[in-house]
Chains A and B, each alone.
Chain A
Amino acid sequence: MFKKIIRVSQSFITEIPESTFVYVFGSSLYTEDFNDIDLLFVIPDTVNKVLSYEAIRKFCKHLEENVGSVIDFTILTNSEEQEVGFVEQVQALLVYS
């Protein structure tokens, strides 16, 4: 599944803001029996937040249609990620940068 996410992501990646980091975390990394795929998007601090959210939501919709699983996404800015340390907390794996 992890490889499929990477492969499919490449097709739609231009839809999301430049310099965005995409991570996978949660049960989809460890088992085939998962309910959804958790993705974390770390976006630049300076981008328009509302437009970025819309773009990422559209990207996740495309991913859902192609991967066949529900995508649950979280978006943090770079500074928020530095504060929260979410990548480390949930041991997220980088799939796109």
Chain B
Amino acid sequence: MSNNGQNNYNVSYSVITWLERALKTHKNISSVSRYDDIVFEVTRTDQDDKLTIFCADEYVGGVTFVQHVLSEYPNCNIISIGGGWNGYTSEAKEFCLAAKIGLFVSDELMGALYKDKYWNHVQKDHKGKPIFYYRNT
């Protein structure tokens, strides 16, 4: 059930609809559905698989947040932490990599959705250096 902005994680309707639009227009996604307001289920074209994506909006996604999401949604494949102004900690990222869960800001997520091993997707700069969205000073 989609409640449009009524959820336990304080994710606003504008953040949800932004992600929904991005998923619906993604070239490797053939179908999108949403339940519990902030959980998307998508079908990928090339891989012919289904992924569950949790829509968050965290200043900084830590390991506590990640573990709680995964305890509530154990079938979750990807946590979308928010836009480029959001980020995550290295501990949260390492936890997710070990569990084969994608932890991404929106730009990363769009690239990861093309990959077979989506959880491993890393953006790279023009010199090939990996870009992580760690919320560091």
Contact = CB atoms under 8 A, between A and B. Distances in A.
A77 B135 contact: no
Contacts of A43: 64
A75 B64 contact: yes
Chain B: number of interface residues, binned into ranges: 20 to 34
Contacts of B67: 49-50, 53
Contacts of B8: 57
B108 interface: no
B124 to A, nearest CB: 22
B91 A83 contact: yes
A74 B91 contact: no
A76 interface: yes
B63 interface: yes
Given A83-B91, A83-B136, A86-B135, A74 B58 contact: yes
Given A50-B67, A53-B67, A83-B90, A76 B62 contact: yes
Contacts of B63: 49, 77, 80
A15 interface: no
A32 interface: no
Contacts of A50: 67-68, 71
A72 interface: yes
Interface in B59-86: 59-60, 62-65, 67-68, 71
A87 to B, nearest CB: 10
A75 B67 CA distance: 12
Nearest to A35: B12
Contact of B68 (A49, A76, A79, A86): A49
Interface of B: 8, 10, 58-60, 62-65, 67-68, 71, 89-92, 134-137
